[in-house]
Amino acid sequence: MAFRRMELSRDETHRRSWPTSFKEEVVLASLAPDANVSSIAREHDLDVSLVYKWRRRFGVKKVDEKQSVAPFIPVAIGAVADTKEVLAGERPSSPRPRRSRVSIDVSGGRTIRVASDIDPEVLARLLDVVDRQR
């Protein structure tokens, strides 16, 4: 098998140029709903980046069907509510009274803090469990 060496020369000062009507045609084709910019560029023997460049120059962007609906909706801002109240679905007429707490020092330098109105049986079981975990 014989190989022949070929040299290609290209005038680097000359660039391909396209008429504006051709650019508009390609850009419009790329904006079609099911258009694939890569395949359109291949059909016209163009680089994909050139098609995107022309689109930017013409100031157009393709709008996705998903984004055709406005991404924002009108909102009215009213009085600020407490998050816990909103989650609970009710609004107390007066603030809840704070429950007092009791701190109990247990062995091993540990402290247990419980509500002052804790059920005595629950507290006894809790202390029993903590005492076994020494």
* pLDDT single digits (tens) 103-114: 888 777 778 888
Q: Is residue 6 part of a domain?
A: no
3-state secondary structure 58-78: HCCCCCCCCCCCCCCCCCCCC
* pLDDT single digits (tens) 79-95: 666 666 656 666 556 66
Q: Is residue 89 part of a domain?
A: no
Q: Is residue 8 part of a domain?
A: no
Which pair of tokens denotes residue 119? 């059920």
The parent domain of residue 118 ranges over 101-132
CA gap 62, 29 in Å, rounded: 11
Q: For the whole model, what pTM was predicted?
A: 0.40
111: which strand partners? 105
* pLDDT single digits (tens) 51-83: 999 998 888 766 555 555 556 666 666 666 666
Alpha helices in 1-117 (DSSP H): 20-30, 37-43, 48-58, 83-88
Q: Is residue 109 part of a domain?
A: yes
Domain count, the chain: 2
Q: Is residue 84 part of a domain?
A: no
